[in-house]
Amino acid sequence: MLSFFKDYKTFGIVFLILSVIIISIIYNTLNVYQPLPIYQPTMVSTELVDSTIQYKRKYHKIADFKLINQNGKTITQDDYKDKIYVADFFFTTCQTICPIMTGHMAEIQKAILNDDDVMLLSHSVTPEIDSVAQLKRYALEKGVVDSKWNLVTGDKKQIYELARKSYLAVKTFGDAGPFDMIHTENFMLIDKKRQIRGFYDGTNEEDIQKLLNDIDILKEEK
């Protein structure tokens, strides 16, 4: 009888060890690292993409830019070199979705405050209204940390082309005039190679959490 229980105990230990190994293998298989997609113009709604690049299927990157931030400093692509960043389009007098979007950007800022690899970039779609002084007032009101988050204004044509040809993020404003645009609620996640790796609803808390998780995924890339 004692021999039976001894053999059963041995079997039980072996079975337990094998079970742990099998469960670990299954867990690791189901949690294999999955890279984020690299978005191309053909993958995005045509209403957000300039007609000249709607056919483009590969090699899409954010173009060079030269804009002015809330402190009157010139901001270019070099300020975001080797950085992951979140971009959006807004305007300071917007009373609809912008306050929610800005609040969520502030939430992201808090999460990445001590992370030197990640920054934020918000473009005004009404640069004729959003002067440096106006952006500065807005930045102070919203708790913008200058080292992490640039609010930029500048030439309207350049902002329009960045929005439609680089970030694939705004709609045209009918026949109101050249370079007039309607921003969306989209936040774009940009990698260190200036590629779009994700679109998120900047008014949706669940999407913000997904964005933060995707930043962590992106940081695993070599």
Q: What is the pLDDT of residue 116?
A: 97
Residue 60, marked binder: no
Residue 123, marked binder: no
Does residue 188 contact residue 87 with C-beta atoms inside 8 Å? yes
Q: What is the pLDDT of residues 156-197, one digit of tens each?
A: 999 999 999 999 999 887 555 567 888 899 999 999 999 999
Q: What is the pLDDT of residue 32?
A: 62
What is the C-alpha separation between 196 and 211, in angstroms, rounded? Answer: 12
Q: What pTM was computed for the model?
A: 0.84
Q: What is the pLDDT of residue 19?
A: 55
| Angle at 70 (CA atoms; ends 111, 90), nearest 5 degrees | 70
Q: What is the pLDDT of residue 60?
A: 98
What is the C-alpha separation between 190 and 198, in angstroms, rounded? Answer: 7
- Between these two residues, 18 and 165, which has the higher pLDDT value? 165
Domain ranges of the chain: 1-32, 41-219
Q: What is the CATH number of domain 41-219?
A: 3.40.30.10
